[in-house]
Structure 1
Amino acid sequence: MAEQRHQDWDPRAKDVQQNQIRAYDDMRQTCPVAWSDYQQWTLFRHADVMRVLEDHDTFSNAVSAHLSVPNGMDPPEHTPYRKTIEPYFAPEPMAHFEPQCRDVARRLVNDLQKNQPVDVVEALSRPFALKIQCAFMGWPDSLHQPLAEWVMKNHRATLARDRAAMTEVAEEFDGYIRDLLDSRRQAGEQAPDDVTTQLMQEQVNGKPMTDEELVSLLRNWTVGELATISASISILTNYLAHHPALFNDLKAAPGQLADAIDEILRMDAPLISNRRITTRDVEIGGRHIPAGEKITLLWASANRDEDTFGAPDNFCPHQNAPKNLLYGAGIHICPGAPLARMELRIFMEELLKQITGIEVVGSDAPERAMFPTGGFNYLPLQFLGSDPKTF
């Protein structure tokens, strides 16, 4: 146990938070299986992460002390919940939602101030994530602002590991969801036929889901969607601002966007990590990890592993796609990947239609997001195009 108490690194150190990606690149080379009080065991290498993902008997998802549907479950408990939610992301519902998704993206891009510096996070990233999640779930526009404020409170509490604040934030979100469930029950047959109402009618193991299960499921969907979609928009626009040739290629051939998006997000992760817990003693990378220890799977490092991808910053979408862990792997691969991919592709299609370029604003430095979030907190860019509001 003595080895566990030696701090190999500090994930919350200022130099790590200022540029998480580069810090993880360094750790992958110097200490690929590392202990810290904050994350316990952190895995930086692609092969080690894949080993965990493919062995769910040894590396359990039941990390949280609270109910987490279905993210924090293992088979056989996990399986029926997973089967229940997967149809919501099948081709038919995705095709049905696509026009609404495109309308949300188009309206945001229409309102974007062209030919002058804007903060991408405030103007595009967060609004798109909020609007698109509420649209998909069938939630009212009145939730946009409370959810925006909730996301920030949740992030601050998580980073600080303030258990009391995390509990308070969770209870606040649960209150929003319970109000939505109650309003649909009161409406009876007049309730809207949307994803939230449909989930209320689902059965798992022959029984309707309890409110506790529904709230947990909807919380997991929403937290994941709001954080990763927002981070992804900032990462994508920043990358294209620094790679104008790729911007021009994608504008000319938008059919290449889907593959390009996955590759850009491989290099610069919107979702930094996930957790597991060991069910038995195990050795990884020469380190002995006892049963009951928490493990952090660092997507932001594994997806840049030189042994798997070569030079991690080389843009090679077709070569790297088979090993890309953007949406995970194994039985817990993200069920919402089809939705996220569609939302990001449509947003970028609508953006590229209306602009002729993206420029870095030299006088103002961007601010990177801090763990556990990827992307940016502040990203000043200039979108070039014909905007009548500027004349």
Structure 2
Amino acid sequence: MRDRVHADWDPRDESVQQDQIAAYDDLRRRCPVAHSDYLHWSVLSHSEVRRILEDHSTFSSAVSRHLSVPNGMDPPEHGDYRRIIEPYFSAANMRDFEPRCREIARELARELATEVELIGAFAQLFSLRVQCAFMGWPASLHEPLRQWTLKNHRATLAGDRAELAAVATEFDGYIRQLLDERRAQGEAAPDDATSRLLRERVRGRALTDEELVSLLRNWTVGELGTITASVGILAHYLAEHGELQRRLRLEPALLPAAIDEILRIHGPLISNRRITTREVDIGGRRLAAGERVSIIWASANRDEAVFGDPDAFRLDRDPADNLLYGAGIHVCPGAPLARLELRLVMEALLAATEQWSLLPGRTPLRARYPGSGFSELWLAVTPAR
């Protein structure tokens, strides 16, 4: 018999928002599949999250009333679009983009003040500039996209459907203008990711504007939010762990593994959604068909059953256990780009400084759901000589 649905917790409660990671740890230990009015069924354990990721026939990604390419699609439709997207993140494309990405990171790192609010003055700027550079978008979009990201976050937190629709329409306008400009340029259009997408075909036809806008919206939202959060989380962790900061300056080859481990400890992405296609038991709870499910990445990646002490920093963990970029058919196609950007930005920060630490008297402000990381992070920076 199906559980009588009641609220096990309130994701928007102030006690949760003050420290989401600690709140999810507590909830996972006492209620690994928890119900709330806001997030519906939240799944917090590593094993059950892996089960959901591998059973897309029971846990569908088609959760939205609106087109979502390819995040909100199931097989076989998902595969048709995924095959278009993956080549954009090939090893060759990453090598081609690396010099420009490194240049952006170094320029911003050299401009750091000795006392800096890192999120607004560095992390957001880095994510905006590299996203626009990768897509071939003009610098004039940097500030509009930054403001759009803030509005989208506020509307998502408030659950304001009208505002969410208005924010989506605003973004669509930016993208449609870019597409129209490329079409008008014809053969003179720059040969970049945006122009190439206009030439892609799915099932023997060109992508529609609706599909292109949805795809680009998903890329941009994922890129701007998670890269900004990741840079803040990494900088904060190294500010609190000076010995590791010094070690990474001496052994930069350790950066890729260290970045993945720090972002396991404090996930930059809180959750993703699914919907059940049939009645199913999970984590001791019975869910009916049509129930909405939230995968809590920031909890699953700290599950003691897999990682022991979730706060223990270790470079010898099995990478297959780390769900930083997901798993299964929906594993993040942009993971190679994210890893490149985060490695280069941390290399630039470490090279441009002798050290950084938390600025006394300025307590870091944690981001509120659906964000992760920090909304404000003040650092004291000693520039390199």
Normalised-by-shorter TM-score class: over 0.9
The offset of 1:3, in angstroms, is 3.9
Q: 1:124 & 1:266 partners in 2: Cα distance?
A: 22
Which residue does 2:58 correspond to in 1? 58
Once the two structures are superposed, residues 300-320 of structure 1 have per-residue CA deviations (whole angstroms, 9 ceiling, x without a partner) of: 000000000000000113214
The structure-2 alpha-carbon separation of the partners of 1:303 and 1:14, relative to structure 1 and needing over 3 Å to count, comes to: same
SS in 1 for 2:239: helix
Q: 2:384 & 2:301 partners in 1: Cα distance?
A: 38
Q: 1:264 & 1:35 partners in 2: Cα distance?
A: 28
The offset of 1:321, in angstroms, is 2.0
Q: 1:322 & 1:316 partners in 2: Cα distance?
A: 14
Which residue does 1:284 correspond to in 2? 282
The offset of 1:337, in angstroms, is 0.1
SS in 1 for 2:290: coil
Which residue does 1:176 correspond to in 2? 174
Picking from 363, 366, 369, the partner of 2:364 is: 366
Which residue does 1:74 correspond to in 2? 74
Once the two structures are superposed, residues 290-345 of structure 1 have per-residue CA deviations (whole angstroms, 9 ceiling, x without a partner) of: 00001000000000000000000001132142200000000000000000000000
Which residue does 1:239 correspond to in 2? 237
- Number of equivalent positions: 385
Q: 2:253 & 2:124 partners in 1: Cα distance?
A: 25
Any unmatched runs of 5+ in structure 1? Answer: none
Which residue does 1:84 correspond to in 2? 84
SS in 1 for 2:273: strand
> Residue 309 of structure 1 contacts residue 320 of structure 1 at CA under 8 Å; is this kept in 2?
no
Once the two structures are superposed, residues 102-139 of structure 1 have per-residue CA deviations (whole angstroms, 9 ceiling, x without a partner) of: 011011011111xx321010111100010010000000
Q: 1:60 & 1:82 partners in 2: Cα distance?
A: 16
Which residue does 2:46 correspond to in 1? 46
Which residue does 1:157 correspond to in 2? 155
Which residue does 1:224 correspond to in 2? 222
Which residue does 1:35 correspond to in 2? 35
SS in 2 for 1:101: helix
The offset of 1:365, in angstroms, is 1.0
Which residue does 1:263 correspond to in 2? 261
Which residue does 1:125 correspond to in 2? 123
Per the normalisation by structure 2, the TM-score is 0.99
> Residue 136 of structure 1 contacts residue 195 of structure 1 at CA under 8 Å; is this kept in 2?
yes
The offset of 1:356, in angstroms, is 1.0
Once the two structures are superposed, residues 141-184 of structure 1 have per-residue CA deviations (whole angstroms, 9 ceiling, x without a partner) of: 00000000000000000000000000000000000000000000
> Residue 84 of structure 1 contacts residue 202 of structure 1 at CA under 8 Å; is this kept in 2?
yes
Identity of aligned residues (%): 58
Which residue does 1:146 correspond to in 2? 144
Which residue does 2:24 correspond to in 1? 24
SS in 2 for 1:296: strand
Partner amino acid, structure 1, of 2:88: Y
Q: 1:5 & 1:169 partners in 2: Cα distance?
A: 32
SS in 2 for 1:231: helix
Partner amino acid, structure 2, of 1:64: S
Partner amino acid, structure 1, of 2:37: D
> Residue 4 of structure 1 contacts residue 35 of structure 1 at CA under 8 Å; is this kept in 2?
no
SS in 2 for 1:381: strand
The offset of 1:2, in angstroms, is 7.9
Per the normalisation by structure 1, the TM-score is 0.97
SS in 2 for 1:319: coil
Which residue does 2:105 correspond to in 1? 105
> Residue 118 of structure 2 contacts residue 232 of structure 2 at CA under 8 Å; is this kept in 1?
yes
The structure-2 alpha-carbon separation of the partners of 1:199 and 1:110, relative to structure 1 and needing over 3 Å to count, comes to: same
Q: 1:45 & 1:235 partners in 2: Cα distance?
A: 22
Q: 1:253 & 1:317 partners in 2: Cα distance?
A: 13
> Residue 263 of structure 1 contacts residue 321 of structure 1 at CA under 8 Å; is this kept in 2?
no
SS in 2 for 1:270: coil
Any unmatched runs of 5+ in structure 2? Answer: none
Q: 1:283 & 1:64 partners in 2: Cα distance?
A: 23
Q: 1:100 & 1:159 partners in 2: Cα distance?
A: 34
The CA RMSD over aligned residues, in Å, is 1.0
Once the two structures are superposed, residues 65-109 of structure 1 have per-residue CA deviations (whole angstroms, 9 ceiling, x without a partner) of: 100000000000111100010000010000000000001101101
Partner amino acid, structure 2, of 1:384: T
> Residue 232 of structure 2 contacts residue 373 of structure 2 at CA under 8 Å; is this kept in 1?
yes
Once the two structures are superposed, residues 196-254 of structure 1 have per-residue CA deviations (whole angstroms, 9 ceiling, x without a partner) of: 00001000111110000000000000000000000000000000000011011100010
Note the 1:346-385 alignment, pairs <5 A.
Answer: 346-385=344-383
Once the two structures are superposed, residues 359-384 of structure 1 have per-residue CA deviations (whole angstroms, 9 ceiling, x without a partner) of: 11121111100111111100011121
> Residue 46 of structure 2 contacts residue 301 of structure 2 at CA under 8 Å; is this kept in 1?
yes
Picking from 315, 318, 338, the partner of 1:317 is: 315
Q: Which consecutive segments of 4 or more residues in structure 1 shift more than 3 A? A: 1-5
Q: 1:66 & 1:200 partners in 2: Cα distance?
A: 21
Q: 1:2 & 1:170 partners in 2: Cα distance?
A: 36
